[in-house]
């Protein structure tokens, strides 16, 4: 009885850890790496991601400026 329950608990713990590692490596943005996932850092995508962020920020600035000019 106990061994079956221990196996179930061990399986639950294993799944919990696997899910956390998946989240940590592929979803969680890490401030120490410039808010880039560890997976993207290991793939060398930092510059690509930062350039895309900069492009989006500039587009948003231009859109806000256009809206202000239209409202004036």
Give the total number of structural domains in the chain.
1
C-alpha span between 36 and 26 (Å, rounded):
9
Alpha helices in the chain (DSSP H): 2-26, 38-42, 46-71
CA dihedral over 54, 57, 61, 66, signed as positive or negative: positive
pTM of the model: 0.69
Range of the domain at 66: 2-71
Residues with Cβ < 8 Å from 24, sequence gap 6 or more?
Answer: 38
Strands (E), the chain: none
In this prediction, residue 18 carries a pLDDT of 97
pLDDT at 5: 83
Q: How far apart are CA 62 and CA 60, in angstroms?
A: 5
pLDDT tens per residue across span 15-68: 999 999 999 999 999 899 999 999 999 999 999 999 999 999 999 999 999 999
């Amino acid at each position: 009885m106990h061994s079956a329950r221990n196996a179930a608990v061990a399986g639950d713990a294993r799944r919990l850890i696997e899910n956390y590692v998946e989240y940590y490596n592929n979803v969680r943005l890490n401030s120490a790496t410039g808010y880039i996932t560890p997976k993207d850092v290991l793939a060398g995508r930092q510059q690509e991601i930062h350039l895309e962020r900069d492009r989006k920020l500039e587009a948003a600035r231009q859109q806000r400026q256009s809206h202000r000019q239209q409202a004036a």
